[in-house]
Amino acid sequence: MEITPSFVFAICIVQSLFIISSAQTCKNNTFPSNQVFTSCSDLPVLQAYLHWNYTPSIKRAHIAYRASQSPTGWVAWAINPTGSGMVGSQAIVAFRHSNGSMAVYPTPINSYNPSMQPGTLSFPVSNISATYADNEITILAVIGPLANGTTFNHVWQAGPVSSGNPSMHSTTGANVQSMATLDFLS
Protein backbone atom coordinates (compact mmCIF):
# COMPACT_ATOMS: atom_id res chain seq x y z
CA MET A 1 0.00 0.00 0.00
CA GLU A 2 1.35 3.38 -1.00
CA ILE A 3 1.32 6.05 1.70
CA THR A 4 0.20 9.25 0.05
CA PRO A 5 -0.14 12.74 1.53
CA SER A 6 -3.92 12.29 1.38
CA PHE A 7 -3.68 9.08 3.43
CA VAL A 8 -1.47 10.78 6.06
CA PHE A 9 -3.91 13.72 6.20
CA ALA A 10 -6.86 11.35 6.71
CA ILE A 11 -5.06 9.56 9.56
CA CYS A 12 -4.30 12.92 11.21
CA ILE A 13 -7.97 13.94 10.99
CA VAL A 14 -9.14 10.66 12.55
CA GLN A 15 -6.58 10.96 15.38
CA SER A 16 -7.52 14.56 16.13
CA LEU A 17 -11.22 13.66 16.26
CA PHE A 18 -10.41 10.86 18.71
CA ILE A 19 -8.41 13.23 20.91
CA ILE A 20 -11.17 15.85 20.87
CA SER A 21 -13.92 13.32 21.58
CA SER A 22 -11.98 11.69 24.41
CA ALA A 23 -11.17 14.98 26.18
CA GLN A 24 -12.71 15.20 29.61
CA THR A 25 -15.39 17.78 30.23
CA CYS A 26 -17.60 18.42 33.22
CA LYS A 27 -20.45 16.59 31.47
CA ASN A 28 -18.39 13.36 31.67
CA ASN A 29 -17.86 13.53 35.45
CA THR A 30 -19.61 11.09 37.76
CA PHE A 31 -19.90 11.27 41.53
CA PRO A 32 -20.22 8.94 44.52
CA SER A 33 -23.66 7.76 45.57
CA ASN A 34 -24.98 8.58 42.07
CA GLN A 35 -25.16 12.30 42.89
CA VAL A 36 -26.39 14.33 39.93
CA PHE A 37 -25.73 17.99 39.26
CA THR A 38 -27.90 20.00 36.87
CA SER A 39 -25.25 22.59 35.97
CA CYS A 40 -21.51 22.42 35.37
CA SER A 41 -18.63 24.45 34.01
CA ASP A 42 -15.25 23.45 32.57
CA LEU A 43 -13.00 25.96 34.31
CA PRO A 44 -10.41 27.45 31.94
CA VAL A 45 -7.23 26.68 33.92
CA LEU A 46 -5.82 24.18 36.43
CA GLN A 47 -7.75 21.23 34.91
CA ALA A 48 -10.77 21.93 37.08
CA TYR A 49 -14.55 21.56 36.89
CA LEU A 50 -17.40 22.99 38.93
CA HIS A 51 -20.81 21.32 39.25
CA TRP A 52 -23.82 22.67 41.11
CA ASN A 53 -27.49 22.47 41.95
CA TYR A 54 -28.96 25.78 43.05
CA THR A 55 -32.22 26.12 44.98
CA PRO A 56 -33.44 29.73 44.52
CA SER A 57 -36.11 29.55 47.24
CA ILE A 58 -33.49 29.01 49.94
CA LYS A 59 -30.51 30.63 48.13
CA ARG A 60 -28.41 27.51 48.63
CA ALA A 61 -26.03 25.68 46.27
CA HIS A 62 -24.87 22.09 46.43
CA ILE A 63 -21.46 22.13 44.73
CA ALA A 64 -18.89 19.64 43.54
CA TYR A 65 -15.48 21.01 42.63
CA ARG A 66 -13.14 18.57 40.90
CA ALA A 67 -9.51 19.28 39.99
CA SER A 68 -6.42 17.39 38.93
CA GLN A 69 -3.85 17.08 41.69
CA SER A 70 -0.97 14.85 42.75
CA PRO A 71 -1.24 12.86 45.99
CA THR A 72 0.93 15.50 47.69
CA GLY A 73 -1.00 18.62 46.71
CA TRP A 74 -4.05 20.64 47.71
CA VAL A 75 -6.95 22.22 45.84
CA ALA A 76 -9.40 24.93 46.85
CA TRP A 77 -12.55 26.52 45.45
CA ALA A 78 -14.03 29.78 46.72
CA ILE A 79 -16.55 32.48 46.06
CA ASN A 80 -15.86 36.09 46.81
CA PRO A 81 -19.20 37.54 47.94
CA THR A 82 -17.96 41.13 48.17
CA GLY A 83 -15.28 41.60 45.51
CA SER A 84 -13.09 39.97 42.92
CA GLY A 85 -9.87 38.05 43.22
CA MET A 86 -8.44 36.07 46.07
CA VAL A 87 -8.60 38.43 49.04
CA GLY A 88 -12.08 38.28 50.56
CA SER A 89 -12.76 34.84 49.13
CA GLN A 90 -14.54 32.25 51.22
CA ALA A 91 -12.79 28.97 50.40
CA ILE A 92 -13.06 25.25 50.89
CA VAL A 93 -9.68 23.51 50.76
CA ALA A 94 -8.91 19.79 50.49
CA PHE A 95 -5.79 17.62 50.48
CA ARG A 96 -4.59 14.14 51.35
CA HIS A 97 -2.80 13.44 54.60
CA SER A 98 0.29 11.25 54.34
CA ASN A 99 -1.79 8.31 55.65
CA GLY A 100 -4.23 8.67 52.72
CA SER A 101 -7.14 10.19 54.66
CA MET A 102 -8.64 13.43 53.38
CA ALA A 103 -8.60 16.84 55.03
CA VAL A 104 -11.35 19.22 53.90
CA TYR A 105 -12.49 22.41 55.61
CA PRO A 106 -13.60 26.02 55.08
CA THR A 107 -11.05 28.80 55.31
CA PRO A 108 -11.49 32.54 54.75
CA ILE A 109 -8.84 34.18 52.54
CA ASN A 110 -8.07 37.51 54.22
CA SER A 111 -4.66 38.30 52.70
CA TYR A 112 -2.22 37.31 49.97
CA ASN A 113 -0.50 35.11 52.54
CA PRO A 114 -3.44 33.31 54.22
CA SER A 115 -2.99 30.74 56.96
CA MET A 116 -5.10 28.17 55.05
CA GLN A 117 -6.21 26.82 58.43
CA PRO A 118 -9.82 25.90 59.26
CA GLY A 119 -12.03 28.91 59.85
CA THR A 120 -15.54 30.29 59.64
CA LEU A 121 -16.89 31.61 56.35
CA SER A 122 -19.18 34.62 55.92
CA PHE A 123 -22.00 32.27 54.90
CA PRO A 124 -23.04 28.82 56.12
CA VAL A 125 -21.34 25.75 54.68
CA SER A 126 -22.36 22.18 55.46
CA ASN A 127 -22.07 18.59 54.27
CA ILE A 128 -18.39 19.09 53.41
CA SER A 129 -16.50 16.07 52.14
CA ALA A 130 -13.66 15.28 49.77
CA THR A 131 -12.35 12.31 47.83
CA TYR A 132 -9.14 11.52 46.01
CA ALA A 133 -9.13 9.15 43.03
CA ASP A 134 -7.36 8.96 39.69
CA ASN A 135 -5.16 12.00 40.47
CA GLU A 136 -8.19 14.21 41.16
CA ILE A 137 -9.55 15.76 44.32
CA THR A 138 -13.30 16.30 44.51
CA ILE A 139 -14.80 18.65 47.10
CA LEU A 140 -18.53 18.33 47.86
CA ALA A 141 -20.38 20.89 49.98
CA VAL A 142 -23.61 22.79 50.47
CA ILE A 143 -23.15 26.57 50.67
CA GLY A 144 -25.68 29.17 51.69
CA PRO A 145 -28.02 30.78 52.08
CA LEU A 146 -26.09 33.25 49.95
CA ALA A 147 -26.87 36.96 50.10
CA ASN A 148 -26.28 39.44 47.26
CA GLY A 149 -27.98 37.55 44.42
CA THR A 150 -26.87 34.56 42.37
CA THR A 151 -23.82 35.92 40.54
CA PHE A 152 -20.44 35.81 42.27
CA ASN A 153 -16.78 36.04 41.50
CA HIS A 154 -15.19 32.69 42.15
CA VAL A 155 -11.60 31.54 42.36
CA TRP A 156 -9.95 28.14 42.42
CA GLN A 157 -6.41 27.11 43.28
CA ALA A 158 -3.93 24.27 43.60
CA GLY A 159 -0.61 23.99 45.36
CA PRO A 160 1.73 21.73 47.30
CA VAL A 161 1.31 20.35 50.81
CA SER A 162 4.29 20.72 53.15
CA SER A 163 4.54 19.34 56.69
CA GLY A 164 0.85 18.39 56.58
CA ASN A 165 -0.40 21.86 55.60
CA PRO A 166 -1.22 23.65 52.35
CA SER A 167 1.76 25.72 51.16
CA MET A 168 1.90 28.78 48.92
CA HIS A 169 0.71 28.15 45.36
CA SER A 170 2.57 29.45 42.33
CA THR A 171 2.16 33.18 41.69
CA THR A 172 2.48 32.92 37.92
CA GLY A 173 0.66 31.34 34.98
CA ALA A 174 -2.56 29.44 35.55
CA ASN A 175 -2.54 30.12 39.30
CA VAL A 176 -3.09 33.84 38.75
CA GLN A 177 -5.64 33.26 35.97
CA SER A 178 -7.92 31.06 38.06
CA MET A 179 -10.86 33.41 38.57
CA ALA A 180 -14.15 34.01 36.79
CA THR A 181 -17.75 35.08 37.27
CA LEU A 182 -20.28 32.41 38.20
CA ASP A 183 -24.07 32.70 37.94
CA PHE A 184 -25.76 29.88 39.85
CA LEU A 185 -28.89 30.35 37.69
CA SER A 186 -27.07 29.71 34.39
Q: What is the pLDDT of residues 17-68, one digit of tens each?
A: 333 334 568 888 788 777 889 999 999 988 999 999 999 999 999 999 999 9
Q: What is the pLDDT of residues 148-166, one digit of tens each?
A: 788 999 999 998 988 888 8
Q: What is the pLDDT of residues 65-99, one digit of tens each?
A: 999 998 889 999 999 988 888 889 999 999 999 89
More confident residue, 2 or 91: 91
102 near 131, Cβ under 8 Å?
Answer: yes
Q: Is the pLDDT of residue 110 over 50?
A: yes
Distance CA 98, CA 56 (A): 40
List, in order, residues 6 or more apart from 35 with CB less than 8 Å away: 64, 140
Name the nearest CA neighbour of 90 among 40, 124, 43: 124
Q: What angle (nearest 5°) sits at the alpha carbon of residue 78, between those of residues 92 and 68?
A: 70
Amino acid, res. 81? P
Q: What is the pLDDT of residue 2?
A: 59
Go through the domains of the chain in sequence order and give each one's CATH number.
Answer: 37-183 (2.60.40.1210)
The span from the first CA to the last CA of the chain, in angstroms, equals 53
How is residue 1 annotated by DSSP? -
94, 95, 139 from 160: Cα distances, Å: 11, 9, 17
Q: Is the pLDDT of residue 13 over 60?
A: no
